[in-house]
Copies of this chain bind each other. A is one copy, B any other.
Amino acid sequence: MEFGRKLAARWAKSNSLLCVGLDPDLTKIPASVSHGPQLLLTFNKAIIDATADLVCVFKPNSAMYEASGAAGIEQLQKTCEYIKQKYPDIPILLDFKRGDIGNTNDYYAQFAFNYLGVDAVTIAPYMGKEANEAFLNYKDKGIFVLCRTSNPGAGEFQDLEVDGKKLYQIVAKHVMTEWNDNKNCGLVIGSPYPQELADIRSLMGDEVTMLVPGAGTQGGSIEASVKAAVNSEGTGIMVNSSREVIFASKGDDFADAARSKAEFLRDQINKYR
């Protein structure tokens, strides 16, 4: 199914705008998880089962799997397979922030859409539309382009002024108008920046879907970012939390703690949407 429709259906069914980031770290996984060769997968399954009814989307972060090499990539694939089989109505957004020339992006897209079979990806804008058409041409997939990122130093280039507009505003405009022939583009705008979220919502209208990372650990306020970012229907966003949910407890109760934290975040988001 086309990503936008799948996400809209999931927003409705789950009554949740929460995205849980599957960013497992070998050194942070609780000792109570069976430490076999499939540790990342075992941990992910527990987190997925504990939080599935509370989320609108799962977002594995490619980096944490790559750090374990081929074995990590295999577990990323199995994690995606697990979600697709057990929770087929929950979209999977692969956070991998790729961006290269078109010929190379073709292969990154194969990794995401063929090997892993995810529903959406994050990509980097710097090389322009022409290079990223390799992603954009997958019209049933969601393509989320970095716009105003969640890190403290995001403004170094993103806030530079071009003819009175900031670079991230120009990126937003290009992506949502010129790149969006297949109506499959969205934007990544960090939770710690409610002004920027409000600014893009007002500039781009109800249509744009935003991935909003950085709530919690990275300093973003749920209240401020949700109020700034939701559209007039109270949707249009996926608010991501990764470490705060999946590492909510390092004890035997890690899955229950992840569920409690996810429930708390879902309710907080719903309070302000």
Contact = CB atoms under 8 A, between A and B. Distances in A.
B157 A125 contact: yes
A110 B149 contact: no
Contacts of A216: none
Q: Which size class do A's interface residues fall under? A: 35 or more
A67 B126 contact: no
Contact of A128 (B99, B106, B115, B154): B154
18 contacts: A63-B104, A63-B111, A66-B73, A66-B110, A69-B77, A70-B73, A70-B74, A97-B99, A97-B100, A101-B151, A124-B126, A126-B157, A128-B151, A128-B153, A128-B154, A128-B156, A128-B157, A128-B158
Nearest to A149: B127
A216 to B, nearest CB: 13
Interface string A172-208: 0010000000000000000000000000000000000
B67 A107 contact: yes
Contacts of A74: 69-70
Contacts of A146: 126-127
A71 B69 contact: no
B64 A107 contact: yes
Contacts of A25: 107
B107 A128 contact: no
A124 to B, nearest CB: 5
A143 B133 CA distance: 27
A153 B130 contact: yes
A36 to B, nearest CB: 17
Interface in A80-126: 95, 97-108, 110-111, 114-116, 124-126
A151 B131 contact: yes
A152 B69 CA distance: 33
A1 interface: no
